[in-house]
């Protein structure tokens, strides 16, 4: 039977470690601080940011929620970022994405002080990661590495195939795996003979944003599969394609009218040696690593 990599348990362990670090800093008169900026009223974003703020409170991290209206301009947002950069009690700045179309997202992310860039999106941190130097790393890729390490999955010398090349997941996780001495192949929507490449993977990371895209025919038996995708399906035909005969999922779908599926077809997991489920795999690590990055930023800014 494949081994299920429990992201919930791993995230809980990381949060406990972060709480202990925050407590140790508090004993020195330092309280890590996170500013979360949420523009407008997007229900999903509101829930996600609320979870981040609550987690800060649980772990002993100061947080401040800033909620500009959806009509805010790029210039007003740049002024806000500049103000947060100058506040010493703020160690991390998080701008919840996506932003309204009229706001220049790249300009804002570039304006954040790299030392406070707890999302790890700034070009300075991306460059430091590429160079194998100490950096604040994007939360989801950092969480993937934690899952592998804490589950005692070998990385060094393994062939890791990353499907997806986004700046948020694909590229940084490829660099992290390379820095851990894996041999890394990056695939994307223009890759030819994709299945031939994914079947070579000892570690297969699926981050392409397409429900059930990685099928059983694309998986090497015994591989470790890291499924980053979170796709909500509401169509009955799609549900049957992925979960026909799964009584537990059937009950959830009937009750809620939707179900979650990753970028990997559930049947593909049957071939794996180990895999992250959806939900309960990579997802919980994202907030845990945001908290870890905030504490790390607080220590780095003070030379600790």
Which residues are tagged catalytic?
Answer: 52, 96, 119
The residue among 84, 83, 81, 90 whose CA lies nearest residue 31 is: 90
- Report the half-sphere exposure of 93 (CA within 13 A, side-chain side): 23
Q: Name the β-bridge partners of 187.
A: 163
Q: Contact, 272 vs 219, CB < 8 A? A: yes
Beta strands in the chain (DSSP E): 3-4, 33-37, 62-66, 92-95, 159-163, 183-187, 203-206, 224-227, 231-233, 259-261, 274-275
Q: Contact, 216 vs 204, CB < 8 A? A: no
| Cα distance between residue 62 and residue 207, in whole Å | 32
| Cα distance between residue 262 and residue 276, in whole Å | 10
- Report the half-sphere exposure of 267 (CA within 13 A, side-chain side): 13
| Cα distance between residue 173 and residue 171, in whole Å | 6
The residue among 162, 157, 227 whose CA lies nearest residue 197 is: 162
| Cα distance between residue 110 and residue 124, in whole Å | 9
| Cα distance between residue 141 and residue 155, in whole Å | 14
Cβ count near 163 (within 10 Å): 28
| Cα distance between residue 271 and residue 201, in whole Å | 13
């Amino acid at each position: 039977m494949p081994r299920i990599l429990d992201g919930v348990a791993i995230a809980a362990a990381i949060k406990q470690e972060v709480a202990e670090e925050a407590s140790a800093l508090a004993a020195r008169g330092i309280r890590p601080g996170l500013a979360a900026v949420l523009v407008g009223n997007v229900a999903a974003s509101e829930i996600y940011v609320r979870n981040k703020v609550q987690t800060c409170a649980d772990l002993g991290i100061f947080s401040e929620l800033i909620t500009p209206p959806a009509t805010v301009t790029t210039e007003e947002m740049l002024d806000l970022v500049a103000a947060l950069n100058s506040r010493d009690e703020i160690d991390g700045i998080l701008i919840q994405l996506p932003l309204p179309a009229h706001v220049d997202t790249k300009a804002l992310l570039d304006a954040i002080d790299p030392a406070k860039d707890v999302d790890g999106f700034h070009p300075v941190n991306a460059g430091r990661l590429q160079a194998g130097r100490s950096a604040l790393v994007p939360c989801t890729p950092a969480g993937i590495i934690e899952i592998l390490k804490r589950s005692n999955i070998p990385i060094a010398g393994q062939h890791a195939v990353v499907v997806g090349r986004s700046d948020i997941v694909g590229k940084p996780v490829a660099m992290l795996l390379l820095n851990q001495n894996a041999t890394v192949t990056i695939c994307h929507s223009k890759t030819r003979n994709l299945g031939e490449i994914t079947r070579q993977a000892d570690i297969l990371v699926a981050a392409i944003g397409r429900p059930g895209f990685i099928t059983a025919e694309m998986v090497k038996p015994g591989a470790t599969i890291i499924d980053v995708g979170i796709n909500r399906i509401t169509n009955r035909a799609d549900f049957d394609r992925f979960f026909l005969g799964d009584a537990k999922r059937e009950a959830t779908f009937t009750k809620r009218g939707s179900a979650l599926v990753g970028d990997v077809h559930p049947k593909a997991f049957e071939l794996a040696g180990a895999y992250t489920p959806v939900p309960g795999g990579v997802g919980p690590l994202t907030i845990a690593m945001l908290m870890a990055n905030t504490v790390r930023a607080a220590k780095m800014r003070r030379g600790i």
